[in-house]
Amino acid sequence: MFTELNSILNSTPDSFTKGEFIFVSDRQSDASFLIHHFLSFYLRARCKVCFLGLVQSFSHYCAISQRLGVSLAQAKEKGQLIFLEGLKESLSILIPQEGHTENQAMDFLRDPTVGLRSLYKFVQSSLNSSSSGEDGTEEWGPSVLLVDDISVLLSLGVSARAVLDFSHYCKATVCSQLQGNMVMLVRCDGEDEGDDGDDEGSELLLRGLTHQCSLTLHVQGLPTGYCRDIHGQVEVCWRRRQGDGQHTQKKLFQYKVHDKGASFFARGTSSAVL
């Protein structure tokens, strides 16, 4: 959990807006540090978290969360965290073996044209199990869905439309029905829509998710080049619905990622400069 980011977003583990869809995207940079922030934030807020870790192993998230002060293994044992380790589950489908029971969630690897229905069913079942009211287990807060890198699904052959459908269904379940939050990460390419039709999938996904979300965090490298002390810039965009119309508010920050967190500062006020 990064304290500076909490003050920027005006949220603390005790009080945060519910029913939000936070969309994190990056271009020519790596925004996964924000996913670690949200993971530790919602675990500290005692929410029930469903994490779809599609690109890295569980131990990677464990190691980083430990530095941020949260124990993922403990949360998983207590039932607060439901972790889908995409890499591990995918092996049994990519290399078919007889007599091997596999998790149905990654079924789209077998035939990407089918879509992400089984993945959505997994999300639904994991977040709805809390409402079945098992006595003796702890009561958790609102449900949260975190997806680390939904754009890897495009690389695996799923169409952008199917991914948008999936996110819409998840939003309807998590944000509207369960009044929880949702965080998704999309990684785009560096070229700014130079080639027509080549990166259609990724740009389509980016625009579609920006339209669906309520808070955008767009991470980019510095427009002027690479710098060791400043790793990039984050553009935060709130899309609030106030009565008559939409009201968007944008803010731009620069950031630097440390070993145990990240610091955010206004443009030009990096400690390396002042």
Partner 1 sequence: MAAPVDSVGKPSAERSPFNSTSFQKKTRSKLISIPGTRPSVQNGQLLVSTGVTSLDYLLGGGLAVGTVLLIEEDRYDSYSRMILKYFLAEGVVCRHELFVAAAQDNPDDILQELPAPILDDVAIHKPVDQPRLSCEPQDSLDAMKIAWRYQNLPKVQSALASTSRFGHYYDVSKTMEPEIRQAAKCHRFYLPEHPTQSSTTHSPMIESYSALLKSLQEVIHREGFDIAASMPKSRNILRVGLHSLGSALWGDDLSCHDNPRHSHALTTFLYGLRALLRSSLAVAVVTVPSHLIQDRALMGSITRLCDNAIALESFKGSERETNPLYKDYHGLLHVHQVPHLNCLASQLPDHKDLAFKLKRKQFTIEVCRQGYSVQSNCLSRKLSIHPFHNVTDCNPSSEKPVCTFVCYWVTKSKVKLLIVLCWCQSYYSVTFRGNRV
Binding residues vs partner 1 (CB under 8 A): 30, 33, 36, 55-60, 63-64, 67, 87-88, 90-91, 94-96, 109-113, 151-152, 154-157, 187, 189-191, 195, 198-199, 202, 222-228, 231, 257-262, 267-268, 270, 272-273
CB of 157 to partner 1, least distance (A): 4
CB of 239 to partner 1, least distance (A): 21
Give whichever of 69 and 190 is closer to partner 1, judged by the CB atom: 190
CB of 155 to partner 1, least distance (A): 4
CA distance 167 to 162: 9
Residue 257's nearest CA partner among 102, 79, 34 is 34
CB of 159 to partner 1, least distance (A): 11
Q: Answer for the pair 248, 239: CB distance below 8 angstroms, yes or no.
A: yes
Give whichever of 108 and 120 is closer to partner 1, judged by the CB atom: 108
CA distance 253 to 264: 6
Tokens representing 206?
């980016």
CA distance 259 to 91: 31
Give whichever of 136 and 272 is closer to partner 1, judged by the CB atom: 272
CB of 19 to partner 1, least distance (A): 29
Give whichever of 142 and 232 is closer to partner 1, judged by the CB atom: 232
Give whichever of 56 and 124 is closer to partner 1, judged by the CB atom: 56
Q: In degrees to the nearest 10, what's the CA dihedral of 255, 258, 69, 84?
A: 70
Give whichever of 56 and 210 is closer to partner 1, judged by the CB atom: 56
CB of 168 to partner 1, least distance (A): 23
CB atoms within 10 A of CB 241: 9
CA distance 202 to 192: 11
CB atoms within 10 A of CB 157: 12
